[in-house]
Structure 1
Amino acid sequence: MAATQPSYWSDLHPELLGLVLGRLPSLADRVRLRAVCQTWRYNARLQLLPPPLPWLALLDGTFLSIPGGEIHRMPIPDDARYHGSIDNWLLLMQNDGSFSLVNPFSKTMLQLPKLATIWHQLRNADTGNPFFYKLVTPSSLDLSPDSLVAALIMDKHSNITLSICQPPVPNNTLRKYDDEHACDVVFFNGKLYAFISRKLFLVEIAGNHKCKPKISSMRCVIDTIKLSDIAQRSRSSTENYCFELRYYLVESGGRLLLVVRQVGVPFPLPEHSLGEHKRRTIWFNVFEADLTANSCHKWRRVSSLAGQALFVGTYSKSLPATECGSAQEDCIYFTCDYAWEYPDPDPLRDSVF
Structure 2
Amino acid sequence: MARSRRARREWSDGLPPELLGVVLLHLPCLADRVCFAAVCPAWRSAARGLAPPRQLPWLLLPSPDATSFFTPQSGATRRLYLPGSVRGTRFCGSHNGGWVAAAADAWGGYAAVNLLSGARVPLPNRIRVVHPFKIRGTSPCEHPMLLRMVTFSAAPTSADCLAAAHISSACNIAFWRPGMDAHWLAYRHQTGVIEDIIYRKSEVKQGFHVLTNTEDLLVYAASSDQNAPLEMTCVRYRFEKRVDYNHNQSGFSVSRYLVESRGKLLMVLREYSVGRGVGRCTWVFRIFEMVLEILPHVQGTKASWVELRDLHGRALFLGRGCSMAFEVSQFTGLQEGVIYYLDDTSFDISLVLSSGGKFSSSDMGVYAMAMRKIRLIRGEARRFPHEFTSECSPPVWLLH
TM range (shorter): 0.7 to 0.9
* Aligned CA distance change for structure 1 residues 167 and 47 (closer, same or farther; 3 Å): farther
Distance in 2, Cα, partners of 1:17 & 1:89: 32
Which residue of 1 is the match for residue 340 of structure 2? 333
Q: CA deviation at 1:335?
A: 2.1
Task: Tell me the number of residue pairs that the alignment of Structure 1 and Structure 2 aligns.
Answer: 324
**Aligned AA (2:323):** S
Which residue of 2 is the match for residue 134 of structure 1? 150
Contact 1:291 1:297 in 2 (8 A): yes
User: Is 291-300 or 255-264 further displaced after alignment?
Assistant: 291-300
**Aligned AA (2:90):** Y
Contact 1:308 1:330 in 2 (8 A): yes
Task: Work out whether 1:103 is the aligned partner of 2:103.
Answer: no
* Aligned CA distance change for structure 1 residues 105 and 78 (closer, same or farther; 3 Å): closer
Contact 1:230 1:285 in 2 (8 A): no
Which residue of 1 is the match for residue 222 of structure 2? 205
| Aligned residue among 34, 49, 55 for 1:31 | 34
Task: Work out whether 1:265 is the aligned partner of 2:274.
Answer: yes
Distance in 1, Cα, partners of 2:80 & 2:117: 13
Distance in 2, Cα, partners of 1:212 & 1:37: 53
Which residue of 1 is the match for residue 378 of structure 2? none
SS at match of 1:118: strand
| Aligned residue among 279, 304, 313 for 2:310 | 304
- TM-score, L = length of structure 2: 0.65
Contact 1:93 1:99 in 2 (8 A): yes
Task: Work out whether 1:76 is the aligned partner of 2:76.
Answer: no
Distance in 1, Cα, partners of 2:62 & 2:167: 16
**Aligned AA (1:163):** F
Distance in 2, Cα, partners of 1:207 & 1:300: 34
* Aligned CA distance change for structure 1 residues 230 and 296 (closer, same or farther; 3 Å): same
Which residue of 2 is the match for residue 162 of structure 1? 174
Which residue of 2 is the match for residue 91 of structure 1? 101
Which residue of 1 is the match for residue 3 of structure 2? none
Superposed, 1:278-289 pairs within 5 Å as: 278-289=279-290
RMSD across aligned positions (CA): 4.1
Distance in 2, Cα, partners of 1:187 & 1:89: 15
**Aligned AA (2:167):** M
* Aligned CA distance change for structure 1 residues 73 and 231 (closer, same or farther; 3 Å): farther
Which residue of 2 is the match for residue 245 of structure 1? 254
Distance in 2, Cα, partners of 1:349 & 1:328: 11
- TM-score, L = length of structure 1: 0.72
**Aligned AA (1:101):** A
Contact 2:165 2:173 in 1 (8 A): yes
Q: Give unpaired runs (5+ residues) of structure 2.
A: 1-8, 131-139, 296-300, 349-357, 373-400
Q: CA deviation at 1:328?
A: 2.7
User: Is 321-330 or 195-204 further displaced after alignment?
Assistant: 321-330
* Aligned CA distance change for structure 1 residues 296 and 307 (closer, same or farther; 3 Å): same
Which residue of 1 is the match for residue 263 of structure 2? 254
Contact 1:58 1:347 in 2 (8 A): no
Contact 1:280 1:350 in 2 (8 A): no
Distance in 2, Cα, partners of 1:212 & 1:40: 52
SS at match of 1:204: strand
Q: Give unpaired runs (5+ residues) of structure 1.
A: 235-240
Contact 2:174 2:184 in 1 (8 A): no
Contact 1:334 1:351 in 2 (8 A): no
Distance in 2, Cα, partners of 1:247 & 1:8: 51
Contact 2:239 2:305 in 1 (8 A): no
Distance in 2, Cα, partners of 1:306 & 1:111: 39
User: Is 32-41 or 22-31 further displaced after alignment?
Assistant: 32-41
**Aligned AA (2:99):** W
User: Is 247-256 or 67-76 further displaced after alignment?
Assistant: 67-76
User: Is 311-320 or 336-345 further displaced after alignment?
Assistant: 336-345
Distance in 2, Cα, partners of 1:97 & 1:185: 21
Distance in 2, Cα, partners of 1:19 & 1:211: 52
Which residue of 1 is the match for residue 233 of structure 2? 217
Deviations 1:55-77 (A, max 9, x none): 13457775432223333453335
Contact 1:57 1:63 in 2 (8 A): yes
Contact 1:335 1:349 in 2 (8 A): no
* Aligned CA distance change for structure 1 residues 203 and 67 (closer, same or farther; 3 Å): same
Distance in 1, Cα, partners of 2:287 & 2:332: 23
SS at match of 2:245: helix
Distance in 1, Cα, partners of 2:319 & 2:76: 18
* Aligned CA distance change for structure 1 residues 171 and 248 (closer, same or farther; 3 Å): same
Q: CA deviation at 1:310?
A: 1.0
SS at match of 1:33: helix
**Aligned AA (2:266):** L
SS at match of 1:229: coil
* Aligned CA distance change for structure 1 residues 338 and 287 (closer, same or farther; 3 Å): closer
Distance in 2, Cα, partners of 1:58 & 1:253: 30
Superposed, 1:186-197 pairs within 5 Å as: 186-189=198-201, 191-192=206-207, 193-197=209-213
SS at match of 1:30: helix
SS at match of 1:52: coil
| Aligned residue among 55, 59, 65 for 2:58 | 55
**Sequence identity, in percent?**
23
